[in-house]
């Protein structure tokens, strides 16, 4: 899922948004725990984990239309949607057990 830095530093004006993102993060990490428990197998027959739930944390998203509308702006700390999409696609090339349950602040990449 894509979350927001607002979860860690909520403001009065964006409390509802931050609370909704925090709830979604909690649910995603609970799903990750379920994947780990259900797919770990038992001690005698360990199995490879094949599913993962991860959280990308961004300040704000940026796309080409925003750049066209405001060519003078620098958009510091924003995450380009193309970069985020590439990172999400890249998850499919990594082992699920190494990704599962990770919460990664952008622009850091998930470990693996």
Domain ranges of the chain: 2-105
The pLDDT confidence band at residue 105, using thresholds 50, 70 and 90, is confident
Q: Please report, for the chain, how many H helices and E strands are present, in that order.
A: 4, 5
Q: How high is the pLDDT of residue 108?
A: 61
State the alpha helices, DSSP H only, in 40-105: 64-69, 81-90, 96-99
**Which is it for the CA torsion 14, 16, 20, 26, positive or negative?**
positive
Question: Is cis: bond before 107, omega within 30 of 0?
Answer: yes
User: Phi and psi (nearest 5°) for 36?
Assistant: -60, -45
pLDDT digits (tens, 9 = 90+) for 54-100: 999 999 999 999 999 999 999 999 999 999 999 999 999 999 999 99
């Amino acid at each position: 899922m894509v979350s927001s830095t607002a979860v860690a530093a909520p403001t009065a004006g964006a409390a509802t948004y931050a609370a909704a993102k925090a709830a979604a993060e909690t649910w995603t990490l609970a799903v990750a725990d379920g994947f780990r428990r259900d797919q770990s197998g038992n001690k005698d027959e360990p199995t490879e984990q094949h599913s993962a739930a991860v959280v990308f944390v961004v300040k704000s998203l940026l796309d080409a239309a925003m750049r066209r509308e405001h060519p003078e702006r620098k958009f510091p700390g924003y995450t380009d949607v193309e970069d985020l999409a590439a990172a999400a696609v890249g998850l499919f090339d990594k082992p699920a057990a190494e990704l599962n349950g990770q919460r990664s602040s952008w622009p850091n990449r998930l470990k693996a």
